[in-house]
Each structure stands twice: as structure tokens, then as C-alpha cells.
Amino acid sequence: MKTLILLFAFVALATCNKCGPLQKLKVKQQWSVAFGTDHHRIDFGIAIWRGLFRQEPEARKMFKRVNGEDLYSGAFRAHSMRVLGGLNMVISAIDNDDIAKFVLSHLHEDHVDRHVPGNYYQVSPIRLRDQFKFGNEMLIP
């Protein structure tokens, strides 16, 4: 359920592992813009999932319970909002190592029984980012 949370959380924390306070603040600010509000969050989530499923088509099978075949279904959009909410928790804690480690540990425990293949954690954030581009213009900030 929270595969994508772990992916982005680890990317955010790994890239900010040696970040200073200003870099961490920048990550939080950029996330705030991307995360947005209201329907923008739904569009953002759908774009992320579309990118993930393009890179790992077999991953859709793991989301049958939330109707992963239809990114626009109510069940899947609700799932997407839960995932983004978890990612928001991790990024919000990026400047507090103790809290960030606790949140990541909790998310890890949630995934142990799901048997998520390791390659799903290696989805390219760069390729996911490209889901938001049309030419040189970002579709979603």
C-alpha cells in the first residue's frame, strides 16, 4: 500500500542525509508546492502512479484491493491520498532525524508482510519527475 511512500521517503532522506538546514528547508518548500491542495493533490498522485506503473507494469497487481487498474476510481484516489499523506509526514520530519527514522521504521514494518519486490524500490525518481513535463514545461509544479 505504501510502496511509493517508502520510495520517495528514502530518496528524500538519502539525498538530504548530508543536507544543511537550508537544503532541508528547500526540500520541504518544493514538496509543499508539488503537494499542493485540494484536487491538485489528486492530479499529482495520479501522475506519480502513472509513472510508477509505466516503469513497473507488474506493480499494478499489488493494488487490486484499491482498484489499481483504474487510477481515477474513488478507491484508488483515496489510496493515493493516503500514500501522499505518509510521504508528507516523512518530508515534514526531514529536519528531525529522530522523528524521520521513527516514521520510516513504522512504514517499513507495514511493508514486511507485503513482500514488495526490491526492484519496485528502484524506480527512477528522474523518470517519475518526467511524468510532470510536457516539453520543457512542468504540468504540475
Contact 4, 61 (CB under 8 A): no
Radius of gyration of the chain (CA): 15
Show the cell assigned to 62: 499489488
Answer with the residue of higher pLDDT: 100 or 5: 100
Rounded CA-CA distance 46/103 in Å is 24
Give the CA distances from residue 37 to residues 19, 41, 81, 103, in Å, rounded to whole numbers and listed in that order.
Answer: 27, 6, 11, 23
Instruction: Compute the C-alpha angle 60/63/64, nearest 5°.
Output: 100
Query: What would the pLDDT profile of 1-57 be if each residue is shown by its tens digit?
Result: 344 544 555 555 555 667 788 888 888 888 888 888 888 889 888 988 888 888 888
pLDDT at 79: 93
3.10.150.10, 3.55.10.10, 3.20.20.70, 1.10.490.10: CATH of 3-132? 1.10.490.10
Query: What would the pLDDT profile of 51-89 be if each residue is shown by its tens digit?
Result: 888 888 888 998 999 999 999 999 999 999 988 888 888
138: which strand partners?
Answer: 133
- Residue pointed to by grid coordinates 487490486: 64
How many of the other CB atoms lie within 10 Å of CB of 16? 18
Contact 48, 4 (CB under 8 A): yes
